[in-house]
Amino acid sequence: MDGIFITFEGPDGAGKTTALQEVSRRLAATANKKIVTTREPGGSPIAEKIRDIILDTAHTEMDERTEALLYAASRRQHLVEKVIPVLAEGGCVLCDRFVDSSVAYQGFARGIGTAGIFQINDFAIEGVQPHLTLYLDIPAEEGLRRIAASGGSRENNRLDQEALAFHQKVREGYLHLVEEHPERIVVIDSQQSKEAVVEQCLAVIRERFAAMFEA
């Protein structure tokens, strides 16, 4: 596959979704290939339905392994339907969350451990890995503060309702991944201004994939 697969990761409240939209808009202006922006969990009709089951605030009894399997199932469907076709024709996919989210949230924060998460996700992704991951880093307290401050404007899901300790473990998981994959994962400080975050993301992408995005 000739395309470029870029993922955006970060704890809740890192501002990743907003940054991704703006990065995508600005990249599209200079790209010579198709750019597709998408998200996990969801991003295709079947995957969105799985998302609804996972994030339903009424599903408080959901088993943690069930949760991990549902994320992997949603990921698989989304990958096959939305990501692989674009990569196969040489395009660029910007994806909000991927396997790293499962490692951080289910592996670390839920405490399932990383081995099982890698196992089920290896089955789901069949070797399709991101070429680059932009990790928007934010301390858990600040991320939760932002979610609270955004009031009703932002979707409040089952995982947002977890305690501070959970979100601290999510961040720990991400920082562990950063150490393990220094080539693939680039850390962006999300406490900067929105504009600075977007500029940094663009700079990294343009530097890595100059042929596709002439500035």
Under rule CB under 6 A, residue 40 binds ligand TYD: yes
Placement of tokens 């009894």 in the chain: 61
Q: What is the DSSP letter of 4?
A: E
- Indicate the residue among 89 and 111 with the shorter CB distance to ligand TYD: 111
Contact between 215 and 139 under an 8 Å Cβ cutoff? The reply is no
- In angstroms, the CA 109 to CA 53 distance is 20
Under rule CB under 6 A, residue 105 binds ligand TYD: yes
Among 10-18, 26-34, 172-180, 195-203, the segment contacting ligand TYD (CB under 6 A): 10-18
Placement of tokens 């409040």 in the chain: 156
Considering CB under 6 A, how many residues would be counted as binding ligand TYD? 14
Among 79-87, 96-104, 182-190, 204-212, the segment contacting ligand TYD (CB under 6 A): 96-104
- In angstroms, the CA 137 to CA 32 distance is 30
- Indicate the residue among 37 and 102 with the shorter CB distance to ligand TYD: 102
Under rule CB under 6 A, residue 12 binds ligand TYD: yes
Q: How many residues in the chain?
A: 215
Placement of tokens 């404007």 in the chain: 153
- Indicate the residue among 197 and 212 with the shorter CB distance to ligand TYD: 197
Grouping H, G, I as helix, E, B as strand and the rest as coil, residue 93 is strand
Binding interface with ligand TYD (CB under 6 A): 12, 16-17, 40-41, 71, 96-97, 101-102, 105-106, 157, 159
